[in-house]
Chains A and B, each alone.
Chain A
């Protein structure tokens, strides 16, 4: 039995005057219905580009997309533009980061939600509007029959994101991609939106891809985690494995940059030095090596000269990582963990 969604060696390249920008360079993962995949990485690491490619939003641009995106055994990349359009919003849908700019300012919320239903269902406008009211009610908008005629600017940020979710789920899609769904929201509202997403996922039994740079969101939502750096997958595996036994220094960096409110104040917030690399002209070897504090532990300048392959992690299972370090689990336990969570080390 093949998985519901299987992405194989997905590449999204943008030819430019200065050369080819490899926004996503070989991404593979599987996802079942009811499961959630968290894609993590800094800005410009290729998270959003890959998810747009799954939706086929690159079509009509100059992007070069290769690989396979198998949804229910159909390769989405082989479909014609029209076939893909008919699947968009019905089988695969997406909710975006900033719901204010992602909704058209001139149309009512109800109009925009109903529109998503009208394209894929042979119903009248009234039925579509009734369905929009129903969905608004489902995502927790009070007085949905009245608010359906409001414009996006009359909604609060959290309500707008709820409306976006209603729009994304109105056709009961098998796959929902949430591109940083909580980034533009207040912290208190973030938790509500995540809870709502989880409830709806259970109800609709959809597969969810959640794109974020917030490891807190990942810890709460994801079953699997995929860490991206400079367009490549650098670590991929079950969420618990990755959060407890990360084996790639970049993932360590991400974990070190998360503030721990509950923990004691002695734990330090350690930023990753440097900036994300240029995708046009990425560093040789491991793309992370210029910013990696552990590269000296690898003999022979290997990090600079040779790109590490994705290999099975020491913790086993489905956990894979892209790193030359011979004993990453030891390095993490002895050098990284004491820095970021001293209390955890003492307990052990």
Chain B
């Protein structure tokens, strides 16, 4: 098991290096001229050249990439031009290893940007994850047990409605009615645990995570329903009944255990995907998370931020994959290795 984890982590590490390379190459392969964007209109070619240098885009793409890799190991100092460092010592920024770069657009290091936005996305994703897993599994099991009845159809139908409505609609709807019109909950605002404690943190997360959870729950209700129904038809469930086990034990110990296994895989990947994928929800509720940062970085051609985000999000997905595989081995004795 340990050797397996080491092997998978190593493969993931190689993957990250490849991904950073691809991101650099793609960025420069496109018809993007960040220096023109930064310099503004009426910018002379000489000024453009100067801006390019100031932004650090003057070197060949490959060299920029190797500089980036070096920075993740050694750390970097910005701006890199020594003349500029001497001219304005107050503007010098130290970026200790592992340095992901410096965003000229946001005038801060990428590490700092991610340090600020990561907890927001993480809180949002985790909270939504808990909500949709509890709700999805609960309603899915109920629908499966009441298969064909009005309850089953109601649960599946309602979940489909939430699935069909885009998150910006559900999010705005919740915001408009629950928070603004009826004032059931305060207008959500992200407060970190360090700043305001657990209570305000949870309160702030309620509506945005509910918005996300309602969307994901629909899928999980249907999947749980399908997996439970499938397991109910298995031979080993008939064996469990033939032993004289109580219906609840048959359901919980024998059916659910089998039904939840495929859900674990999906859940892990969905959670990881949500880290950078909750852009719309983050925008609706004005949460400054990784998704919003990614959209902004792309609109301003902020390469260091883009590369940093690609790597962080990829690392999250890779880690989630490894965790899912480990969990799978813990759940299903047939896939245990070595």
**How far is it, in angstroms, between the C-alpha of A180 and the C-alpha of B228 when the chains are bound?**
27
Q: Are A167 and B236 in contact (CB under 8 A)?
A: no
Contact B242–A105 (Cβ < 8 Å): no
Cβ of B243 and Cβ of A89 under 8 Å apart? yes
The reply to whether the CB of A116 lies closer than 8 angstroms to some CB of chain B is yes
In A71-124, the 8 Å CB interface with B consists of: 85-90, 93-94, 96, 98, 101-106, 112, 115-116, 119-120
Number of interface residues of B (CB under 8 A): 21
Per the bound structure, the CA–CA distance linking A87 and B244 in Å amounts to 7
How close is A289's CB to chain B, nearest CB, in angstroms? 34
* Between-chain CB contacts (< 8 Å), 10 pairs: A85-B245, A88-B244, A89-B242, A89-B245, A96-B235, A102-B236, A102-B238, A103-B239, A105-B236, A112-B239
A85 and chain B: residue at smallest CB distance: B244
Interface membership of A243, Cβ < 8 A: no
| A151 at the binding interface (Cβ < 8 Å) | yes
On whether the beta carbons of B241 and A120 are closer than 8 Å, the reply is: no
Are A119 and B241 closer than 8 Å at their CB atoms? no
A57 shortest CB reach to chain B, Å: 6
Write out the residue numbers on chain A whose beta carbons fall within 8 Å of the beta carbon of B246: 85, 119
> Does residue A55 face the partner (Cβ distance < 8 Å to B)?
yes
Q: Give the number of residues in A that approach B within 8 Å (Cβ atoms).
A: 28
The smallest beta-carbon distance between B284 and chain A, in angstroms, is 41
B147 CB to closest chain A CB, in angstroms?
11
Q: In the bound complex, how far is the Cα of B240 from the Cα of A28, in angstroms? A: 28
Residues of A within 8 A of B238 (CB): 52, 57, 96, 102
Task: Find chain B residues with CB under 8 A from A151 CB.
Answer: 333-334
Instruction: Return the chain B residue nearest A104 by Cβ.
Output: B236
By Cβ-Cβ distance, the 3 closest A-B pairs, closest first, are A89-B244, A88-B244, A101-B235
The verdict on A103 contacting B236 (CB below 8 Å), with A151-B333, A151-B334 known, is yes
Inter-chain contact B234/A57, CB cutoff 8 Å: no
Q: Does the CB pair A57–B242 fall under 8 Å?
A: yes
A154 to nearest B CB, angstroms? 8
**A104 and B334: CB pair below 8 A?**
no
B236 touches A101 (CB 8 A): yes
Cβ–Cβ contact A153 & B334, under 8 A: yes
A237 to chain B, nearest CB (A): 29
Decide: A94 and B242 in contact? CB cutoff 8 A.
yes
Chain B residues within 8 Å of A, Cβ to Cβ: 234-236, 238-247, 254, 257-258, 261, 331-334
Q: How far is the CA of A106 from the CA of B293 in the complex (A)?
A: 43
Q: What is the minimal beta-carbon distance from B331 to any residue of chain A, in angstroms?
A: 7
Residue of B nearest to A113 (CB): B243
Q: How far is the CA of A90 from the CA of B331 in the complex (A)?
A: 30
A167-B243 in contact (CB<8A): yes
Q: Chain B contacts of A153 at CB under 8 A?
A: 333-334
Whether A93 pairs with B242 at a CB distance below 8 angstroms is yes
Given contacts A88-B242, A106-B258, 16 further A-B contacts (CB under 8 A): A57-B241, A85-B244, A85-B247, A87-B244, A94-B242, A96-B238, A96-B242, A101-B236, A104-B240, A104-B257, A105-B333, A106-B257, A115-B245, A119-B243, A119-B244, A153-B333
Question: Shortest CB–CB separation between residue B82 and chain A, in angstroms?
Answer: 63
B5 CB to nearest chain A CB (Å): 22
B residues less than 8 Å from A96 (CB atoms) = 235, 238-239, 242
Q: Which of B243, B332, B334 contacts A88 (CB 8 A)?
A: B243
Whether A104 contacts B243 by the Cβ 8 Å rule is no
Give the distance to chain B from A90, nearest Cβ to Cβ, in Å.
6
State A115–B239 Cα separation when bound (angstroms): 11
Interface residues in A104-150 (C-beta closer than 8 Å to B): 104-106, 112, 115-116, 119-120
Check if A106 sits within 8 Å of B244, measured CB to CB: no
The reply to whether B244 and A102 contact each other, CB–CB distance below 8 Å, is: no
Inter-chain contacts of A112 with B (CB < 8 A)? 239
Q: Which B residues lie within 8 Å of A104 (CB)?
A: 236, 239-240, 254, 257-258
**How many angstroms from the CA of A92 to the CA of B245 in the assembled complex?**
13
Contact (Cβ within 8 A) B234 A101? yes
What is the minimal beta-carbon distance from B332 to any residue of chain A, in angstroms?
6
**In the complex the two chains form, what is the Cα distance from A8 to B332 in whole Å?**
44
The reply to whether A102 and B235 form a contact with Cβ atoms under 8 Å apart is: yes
Which residues of A have CB within 8 Å of B241? Answer: 57, 88
Rounded to whole angstroms, the CA-CA distance of A115 and B252 in the bound complex is 14
Please, how many angstroms separate the alpha-carbon atoms of A120 and B249 in the complex? 14
B94 CB to closest chain A CB, in angstroms? 53
Chain A residue with the shortest CB-CB distance to B245: A119
CA distance A115 to B257 in the complex (A): 16
Q: Is the CB of A90 within 8 A of B332?
A: no
Distance in Å: Cβ of B254 to nearest Cβ of chain A: 6
Q: For the complex, give the distance between the alpha carbons of A88 and B331 in Å.
A: 29
> Which of chain A's residues have a CB closer than 8 A to the CB of B257?
104, 106
Note all chain B residues with C-beta closer than 8 A to A85. Answer: 244-247
Partner of B332, one of A87, A89, A106: A106
Chain A CB within 10 Å — which of B234, B243, B257, B331 has the most? B243
- Nearest residue in A to B236 (C-beta to C-beta)? A104
Give the residues in chain A near B334, CB-CB below 8 Å.
105, 151, 153
CA separation between A89 and B242, bound complex, in Å?
A: 6
Q: Which residues of A contact B261 (CB under 8 A)?
A: 106
Bound-complex Cα distance A87 to B241 (A): 11
Q: Which residues of chain B are near A87, meaning CB under 8 Å?
A: 244
The distance in angstroms between the C-alpha atoms of A164 and B236, with both chains bound, is: 11
Give the residue name and chain of the B residue nearest to A108 (CB).
B333
Report the bound CA distance from A57 to B246 in whole Å.
Answer: 13
Complex: A90 Cα to B245 Cα, angstroms: 11
Chain B residues whose C-beta falls within 8 Å of the C-beta of A167 in the assembled complex: 239, 243
Query: B260 CB to closest chain A CB, in angstroms?
Result: 10
